[in-house]
């Protein structure tokens, strides 16, 4: 292997480490500040944690948009959302049944399906995501977060606030260090992945759908497996759904608001597959209000088949 490729692989790994640890620091700091400010736990889980675990995708996609690697911005979101549903939920379901909360099943999951359809429509209409469409996605995100805050205050759990793990100064330091790690990691991942792709003759889209998507989705996987180990099975579903919502509305919204994203029609299969998988996730949940081992096997098998297709297609 060429020495320059080895160097880029090392930089790619370092970038992923910065992304994962940066998002970990960010979530801890943000969660502690939320607790210190008496913000309900349910809001922290649905917003701060979801945003924190989506931060690597945001860093990579926004950096890609700023540097003109727009194909990676979209393929990273598609690949990440597929990985979250097929692997994070799939692997978690193999380890233990994932029960569904009524509110998630009746509100958040249908909302994810709706915005995935909107995302697919934006792409299929003109094979691009315009600045205006990006702004629309960001407006929908703001409305969704406001809705979560309003509805959570009405719930019985609204007064349940976790005790802060960190002091205010430490929380601020964790947030600053975390964001710095996320930004630096995102820059390293985009640059090194692009260089590796060119050196190996791979397309930017393939790298975004595979290497970058899996790497930036590791926080969701780690968070979900940790929650599963602690017996907080419902948090796994919330984490995945929340992260996928943030990926579409914030990551793509911010990226396309900065710079319109032209797309290639070769992404048609990936977009349709992401939409189909999201709808399948909804059907599985509605059928028995949980994900079990059988559904876990189906989801993981679908991911393996998709990865094989993506690699062979290149």
Please write the tens of the pLDDT for every residue from 213-242.
Answer: 777 777 777 777 777 776 767 667 777 888
Residue 98 β-bridge partners: 291
292 Cβ neighbours under 8 A, 6+ residues apart: 93, 97, 98
| pLDDT tens readout for residues 173-191 | 988 898 788 778 877 887 7
Tokens of 115: 């915005």
Question: DSSP E strands: which ranges in 48-164?
Answer: 98-99, 128-129
pLDDT (mean) for 68-85: 81
The answer to whether the beta carbons of residues 251 and 58 sit under 8 Å apart is: yes
As a whole number of angstroms, the distance between CA 189 and CA 198 comes to 14
Whole-number pLDDT of residue 156: 45
Mean pLDDT of 296-311: 90
CA distances to 10, 205, 255 from 67, rounded to whole Å, are 21, 15, 11
| Residues 73/253/224/191 CA torsion (nearest 10 deg) | 30
pLDDT at 109 > cutoff 70 = yes
Mean pLDDT of 93-116: 86
**pLDDT at res. 143:** 94
User: 17-21, 24-28, 31-35, 246-250: which has the minimum mean pLDDT?
Assistant: 31-35
């Amino acid at each position: 292997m060429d020495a320059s490729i080895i160097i880029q692989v090392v930089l790619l790994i370092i970038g992923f480490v910065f992304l994962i640890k940066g998002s970990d620091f960010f979530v801890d700091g943000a969660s502690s500040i939320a607790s210190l400010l008496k913000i309900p736990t349910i809001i922290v889980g649905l917003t701060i944690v979801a945003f924190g675990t989506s931060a690597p995708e945001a860093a990579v996609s926004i950096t890609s948009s700023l540097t003109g690697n727009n194909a990676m911005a979209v393929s990273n979101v598609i690949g990440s959302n597929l990985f979250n549903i097929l692997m994070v939920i799939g692997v978690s379901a193999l380890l233990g049944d994932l029960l569904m909360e009524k509110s998630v099943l009746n509100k958040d999951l249908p909302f994810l399906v709706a915005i995935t359809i909107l995302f697919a429509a934006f792409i299929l209409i003109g094979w691009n995501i315009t600045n205006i469409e990006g702004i629309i996605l960001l407006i929908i995100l703001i409305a969704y977060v406001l809705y979560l805050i309003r509805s959570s205050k009405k719930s019985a759990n609204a007064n349940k606030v976790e005790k802060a793990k960190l002091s205010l100064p430490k929380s601020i330091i964790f947030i600053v260090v975390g964001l710095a790690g996320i930004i630096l990691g995102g820059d390293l991942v985009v640059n090194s992945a692009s260089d590796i792709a060119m050196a190996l003759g791979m397309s930017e889209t393939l790298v975004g759908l595979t290497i970058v998507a899996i790497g930036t989705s590791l926080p969701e996987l780690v968070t979900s497996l940790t929650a599963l180990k602690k017996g907080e099975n419902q948090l796994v579903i919330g984490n995945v759904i929340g992260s996928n919502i943030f990926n579409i509305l914030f990551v793509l919204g911010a990226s396309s608001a900065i710079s319109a994203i032209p797309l290639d029609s070769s992404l048609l299969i990936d977009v349709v597959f992401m939409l189909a998988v999201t709808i399948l996730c909804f059907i599985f949940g509605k059928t028995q209000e949980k994900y079990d081992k059988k559904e876990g096997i189906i989801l993981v098998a679908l991911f393996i088949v998709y990865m094989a297709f993506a690699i062979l297609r290149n």
